[in-house]
Amino acid sequence: MPREKLRGILFRKLFSLGVCFRHSSGEDHARIGQKGYSRVVYCNDPDNPESIQLNYRGNYVSTTKYTAANFIPKSLSEQFRRVANIYFLVVACVSFSPLAPYSAPSILVPLIVVIGATMAKEGVEDWRRRKQDIEANNRKVMVYRNYTFTETKWKNVRVGDLVKVYKNEYFPADLLLLSSNYEDGVCYVETMNLDGETNLKLKHSLEETAVLRDEDHFRDLKR
């Protein structure tokens, strides 16, 4: 039998074996909402029990590394993960011996200065990140609640909320486009903060919800 034909038969057998061990669609559907699988989100119904499960962390953003309680121990552990700092610490401990050819302050003082300066630098950078988090969490956004769009903070946005985004505004969270002011239900999104690209991405809304533009249209929208 020709080698190419034999190779084709072997590949077909491997493919068939892979299909046999594939999960059924019913099993995958049952795992929706679990870790590593898709989530079920109820639009315009953040008080739904399944939506409440997804809101346990809220929309609060925190990019800081330290807190006031763990700054010193955590920062020190980060410093002594470096081999050079461990080496100089061992040398400083050996310097307390009367047989050491150098004095302890000559080793300890530079080590303390370097570690202290690095910790201060990390503390300032973490404080700047905290200020940026506070600014982002307190930005205003229009959310549909009590049958009207009201202004709220980004950190108060919940899974399932309807959000109105205006031109040249940042998104408070991952959003699904339901409708836009354009008749064909499109919008243009800039993702420079995510991937560094400045060109606008074209997004299309769902055909079923493209006609929803007024507040009254969203009154009975729950899916």
Q: Which of 5-9, 50-54, 122-126, 136-140 has the lowest mean pLDDT?
A: 5-9
Both structure tokens of 145: 């609640």
**Residue 144, pLDDT above cutoff 60:** yes
157 and 130 in a common domain: no
Domain end (from 97, 116, 136): 136
Number of domains making up the chain: 2
Mean pLDDT of the residues in the chain: 76
209 and 154 in a common domain: yes
Write the DSSP assignment of 13-57 as a string of letters: HHHHHHHHTSPPHHHHHHTTTSTTS-----TT-TTSHHHHHHTSS
What is the distance between the alpha carbons of residues 73 and 67, in angstroms, rounded to a whole number? 11
Q: Looking at residue 100, what is its pLDDT?
A: 63
Q: What is the pTM of this model?
A: 0.63
118 and 93 in a common domain: yes
145 and 127 in a common domain: no
Q: pLDDT for 166-202, tens place per residue?
A: 888 888 888 888 888 887 888 888 888 778 788 888 8
- Rg (C-alpha) for the chain, rounded Å, is 29
147 and 123 in a common domain: no
150 and 112 in a common domain: no
Domain end (from 85, 113, 136): 136
Q: Looking at residue 148, what is its pLDDT?
A: 84
Which residues constitute the domain of residue 96?
A: 71-136
155 and 129 in a common domain: no
Query: 127-140 b/e with 16+ CB inside 10 Å = b?
Result: eeebeebeebbeee
Q: Which amino acid is at 66?
A: Y
What phi, psi does 105 have (nearest 5°)?
-60, -30
Q: Looking at residue 27, what is its pLDDT?
A: 53
Q: Indicate whether 87 belongs to any domain.
A: yes
Q: Looking at residue 173, what is its pLDDT?
A: 83
Q: Looking at residue 134, what is its pLDDT?
A: 93
Residues in the chain, how many?
Answer: 223
